[in-house]
Structure formats: structure tokens, C-alpha cells
Amino acid sequence: MRFIRGSRFDARGAVRAALAAACATFAVAAAAQPQRPQRIVSINMCADELLLRLADRDRIASVAWLSRDEDNSNVAALAKGVPVNHGLAEEIMALRPDLVLAGAFSSQTSVQILRRLGVNVVEVQVPRNMDEARGEIRALAAAIGESERGEKMVGEIDAGFRALGLSAQSPRLRAVVMQPNGFTVEKGSLVEDIMNRAGLENLASRIDAGSYLSIPLEAVVLQQADVMILNGEVYGAPSLATEALSHPVLAALGRRLKVVAVPPKLWTCVGPGLVEAARLLVAQTRGARAARR
Amino acid sequence: MSAPGSQGAQRTDSHYAALVGALGFVVVAAFLVSLFVGYAGLDAPQAVSDALHGADTLPAIVLVELRLPRALLGCFVGFSLGLAGAAMQGFLRNPLAEPGIVGVSGAAALGAVTAFYSGLSQIIPLALPIGGMAGAAASALLLYALAGRGAGTTTLVLAGVAINSFAAALTSLALNLSPNGFAALEVIYWLMGSLVDRSLPQVWLALPFMAVGWLLLLASAPALDALSLGEATAQSLGFDMRRLRLQLVGGAACAVGAAVAVSGAIGFVGLVAPHVLRPFVGHRPGRLLLASGLGGAALLLVADIAARLLPIRPELKLGVITALIGAPFLFHLVYRLRREG
């Protein structure tokens, strides 16, 4: 899903894809820092989100340019005024960083050059569930020397999920995530974990079809989903990818199918947005849940 | 090629009727198979009966909203391409004249892309087929200006290469300029074509224009027959060459332009269908028109069924499958042309 969101052939797209690709969780590859880094540069949009939320402004030297874009980032307001970079080794070296946060799949050439030049680079991974997401918040917080704030964030997220107020008896609704180009959400992904916490069963996990699963509309219809989650900008500039999301067959399904739109930025990266996405799902499916009871 | 005697004419008439009947049967059969081939098991009798009784059940919705538009478009787009290929080959007297090779499909895709990604077709849905037709018409006129009637194969193919690469470059440019991040990936759809998740409104949008194109092209049959005896003879028989040219350019633009606007540019159908069927119609270009249209429809329906049955996901683009069938065909033609050379 993250690959799909940011795909474009031009340079802008390459950066965007690479950055978005490795969002959400952080496996700290580097050894713990002896002293707190004072000039932190992030070249990954998801690292940006945690960095901007956890570290004081004066220790952040630069964040990825995408984080200023409100459509992509949950922390666009925080990123205002912070210098931005485009993930190029040259511009990063000019900032003389003592810590660089990068995605595991992003800007590999830049990362290799930075490492050769002796810069401390911490790579982030893609989380597959909430446990890993918690681990990554803690790991990144430790790397930047803000473990206490990291722990607080984990606690707030856990409390947010508990406050969803779904009893164990609540019926599980069958849901399918539709992303542009007919892609859906794979089995064993963070998004699926969030759906489960919001009382939804991911229909796509019944079909085992590899990680980047494309789902034909007719399978969506015949699998009798209760909820369809639109994960994409349906009303943006025209593209065929998003056109399928407004296919007349969805209108024909009418009351049988509750359509919920979730802004992709909420659950692309690890952060409080995950709780917000779950809250949105619970609130929007209340009617469908009541009908099932 | 010479005019057959009256006794022979009677015999070829019944042959022709049998051929058209057989092709029609194949098209209907392929259409029905296309309706009931898909990714999810569909209870076919249930779906048909629900759909006919107007019941709003899931099988009926899938049949009417998803399978039907796909099968209809496979049929209509294939008919348009096969018919346009036959007409262009008859008129230009060139075996390589085909909407895909000479760039008419590519230019139609450019027109449709411009209408779609500029957002124009969201305001006025008609802008999409009109864009496709404008692109097709422009390229057909350009092709005629560059190559002309009876031009050598080299001239025609070079003109086609020029138009095709220009249209493909501008299509990529238009998609790259789109503010939508997905657009750039969609160039493959426009250059290769697909019928995935098409809808009934798209069928109704394109069908009227395609139908006008079919009528214009089919009505040119007598003139094309006369033309096979030479331009001077055709003129002496009372056929106005300027009118015929306009009719063919307009017909091909409507049929191919509207088809490409809803399916992308699918190649080789207009090449394979006329060549396979030409011997069966006694090499008469007028008779080849309808037969080639039906042949194109059958070919595209079968290719689209294959796309869904092949174990490759996401499914292959239709143009890939028609190219797998058509490219060896093109090689064969080139080889033969060289020998005749």
C-alpha cells in the first residue's frame, strides 16, 4: 500500500515513494548513542512524524519535504519552519548531522554514502502490527534520547484504543479495504491490526495472495462485505486508479455496504493517527453494527 | 480480384452469408462465455433469473454492473477495430494499414488522456469519447497527408511510427504533468488497453459514436469494391473519391476514437482479423468489412477471456495478449512483403 500511494515516475515521485515506503515502524540498527544527538536529520516521512512529536524543535536540523504537505503528513503544522530535505546525500552532509533517520527502503544510495562518510544512520522498518509499532516508537525515542516522551506516547495510544469501548460481544463486521488501482490491505499488516481493534475483520486475509493483493470489484461484491474502507483521495485530480472507487456497482450495493473513507495519512505512519483511524472506523460503522445485532 | 461471373456470384453470396452467420455465432458464444468467466464464482442461472426479474441480489448486481459492460465493450471495441482495419487496408491498398500500426489508436488515446486527466470529462462526460475521436481524426488526416493513397508500405509505416511515437510521448507527458500521483503509472493502460472494471455508463457513452462509425465504414463497401479495380475505374463508376475519403476518415475516427476512449489502445486486432478472413470473402474489400468486424469482436472477447483465465495477477493488459497473437502475424506479413518486395 505504501508503495502504491507515492508512485510516480518523476524525481518527486521517487522520493515520495521511497519515503512513504518505509513508514511506520523503527528498528534501530545503530548502537545506542553515548550522548543526546543535537543535530538530527530525518529523510523519512514517518520518522519525521515521531521526531517532530518527540524531540524539541532546536534539536531538529531538517525533515523530509513531504512532511510539510498536509495531504501526506499528520504533522504538517509542526514541520512548518523546519528546513526540509529531499533525501540527497549532498544536502544532508551540508547540514552536518549527528544523527540521520532513514527508511529501510528509502534512499539506499544516500544512506550508503552517509555511512561511508561516518554519519550515524538509524534505519526504520515497516511495522506489521501494534506490538511492533510500540517497539518502534520506543526504539526511535531511545535513539534520539527521549525515552520518557516515547513511553508517554505509547501509553496515550494504548489508552486511546482501550477507550474505543468495543465489548467482546460486539459483532465483527466484514470489511474490505479498497485502495487506488484495486489494491487492498494484506494479511498481517498494521492496517489489519487497526481494523481488528475497531471490530472489523479484513476480508482480504481470507484470500491468501501474497502481500500486494489486488482485488477485483466482483470479488468485493460476492464476498458480501459489510463495510468498504476507501483508503485514498477519491476527489483529487482525476486518475483511473481512483475511478474504480466510484464505479456504479458500489452505488448499486446501496444499503448492503457501508462505505467509510479513511484518509491514508492517518495509518500510514506510526503515531496518534492510528487511534484516530480506529475511532473513525468505529464511529462510521455504528449503524451497520446495530443492524447486525 | 476480378469481378466474378453471375453463377459464381451466387455461390459466393451463399458462402458469404454462411461465413457471416458462423462468425456471428462465434461472437455470441464468446460473449456468453465472457459473461460467465470471472474471478469470483457466480451462480449463473440464479444471476440471470434475478437480473431478469429485477431482483437486487448480489449475483444480479455482479452480472449487470460488472460482467455485462465488460463483455459488451469487448464485443463493440473488437468490432470497431476489426472493421476499421479492414476499411483502412481496402482504402489505402496496404496490408499494414491498421489503427494500431499507423498511429490512429495511439492518437485517440492521447485525445482521451487529455480529456480525462485535465478533468474535462468529469464535468462533461462526453468530452472523453470526443477527445478520443478528435485524436483519431487528426491522426487519420495527418496519415493521409503524409502517406496518401497507394503510398508504399515504407512511407505508410514510417508515417505510422512518427505518429505513434509522437502520440505516446505526449500521452506520457500529459500523465506526468497530472497532479495525481497515480496518473503516471496509467500510461500502460492507455497504450495497452484493458477492460477491467468498466461500467455500463461507459458503454452508453461510447456506443452511439462507435455505431455512427460502423455505419459510415460499412456504407463504404460498394466504393471499396469498385476501388479494388483501380481509382480511375471507380471514378468512372460514379464513386466520388473525395467523399469516400471523408467517409472513411470520419468512420474510422468515430469507431476507433470512441473505442479507445473507454478501453485504451488495443493493438493488432485490426491487423489479424482482416488478414485471416480475406481469403474467405474472395478478396473483396467490401465484403471483408462486416466479416472483419465480427472477427475482431470474437478475437477481442477471446483475448479478454484469456486475460481472466491465465493465472497471472493482476491480469495482463489486453494489448499484451493481442500483441502475443498479432506480433508473429506481423512478422509473417513483413517476411512475405519482403519476398514479394
Rg (C-alpha) for chain B, rounded Å, is: 20
Q: For the segment A58-86, what is each residue's pLDDT rounded down to a tens digit?
A: 999 999 988 998 888 899 999 999 999 99
Quick check: B65 and A222 CB within 8 A? no
pLDDT of residue B167: 95
Residue A214, pLDDT score: 66
Q: Does B189 touch chain A (CB under 8 A)?
A: yes
Give the model confidence (pLDDT) of A204-239 as tens digits: 877 655 444 567 778 778 878 888 888 776 556 777
Query: Which residue of A206, A221, A228, A242 to mutate against B (max B Cβ within 10 Å)?
Result: A221
Distance CA B96, CA B102 (A): 8
Predicted confidence (pLDDT) at residue A123 exceeds the cutoff of 50: yes
Distance of CA B202 to the CA centre of its chain: 16
Across A192-201, A258-267, B4-13, B102-111, least confident range: B4-13
Cell output for B275 = 488478414
Which chain B residue lies closest to A242 (C-alpha atoms)? B182
- Taking the CA of residue A9 and the nearest CA in chain B, the distance in Å comes to 6
pLDDT at B56 over 90: no
The reported pLDDT for the residue numbered A18 is 44
User: Which CA distances in Å does A187 have to A161, A206, A257, B110, B138?
Assistant: 21, 8, 22, 39, 49
Q: How far apart are CA A205 and CA A209, in angstroms?
A: 9
CB under 8 Å to A5, separation ≥6 — which residues?
Answer: A17, A20, A179, A232, A264, A268, B181
Measure in Å the smallest separation between the Cα of B190 and chain A Cα atoms. Answer: 10
Select from B39, B58, B186 the Cβ nearest to the Cβ of A241: B186
CA distances from B58 to A137, A203, B66 (A): 44, 17, 11
pLDDT above 90 for A5: no
- The cell numbers describing B314, all together, are 493482476
**pLDDT for the residue A25:** 36
Please state the rounded mean pLDDT for residues B277-281.
93
Cα–Cα distance between A194 and A128 in angstroms, integer? 11
Cα radius of gyration rounded to whole Å, chain A: 20
The answer to whether the CB of A293 falls within 8 A of the CB of A261 is no
Task: Give the minimum alpha-carbon distance from B207 to chain A in angstroms, rounded to a whole number.
Answer: 18
Give the residue from chain A lying closest to B314, CA to CA: A214
* A25 phi and psi angles, rounded to 5 deg: -130, 160
| A34-49 average pLDDT score | 89
Contacts of A214 in chain B (CB under 8 A): 313-314
Lowest mean pLDDT, pick from A28-32, B153-157, B189-193 = A28-32
- Check whether A201 has a pLDDT greater than 80: yes
User: What pLDDT does B9 receive?
Assistant: 64
What are the residues whose beta carbons fall under 8 Å from the beta carbon of A149, sequence distance 6 or more? A54, A141
Decide if the complex's ipTM is over 0.95: no
Assess whether pLDDT exceeds 60 at residue A33: no
* A183 vs B73, higher pLDDT: B73
pLDDT score recorded for residue B312: 80
As given in the structure block, the three cell numbers for residue A79 are: 514541520
Average pLDDT in chain A: 80
Longest dimension (CA), chain A: 62
| Segment B235-241 mean pLDDT | 91
pLDDT exceeds cutoff 80 at B281: yes
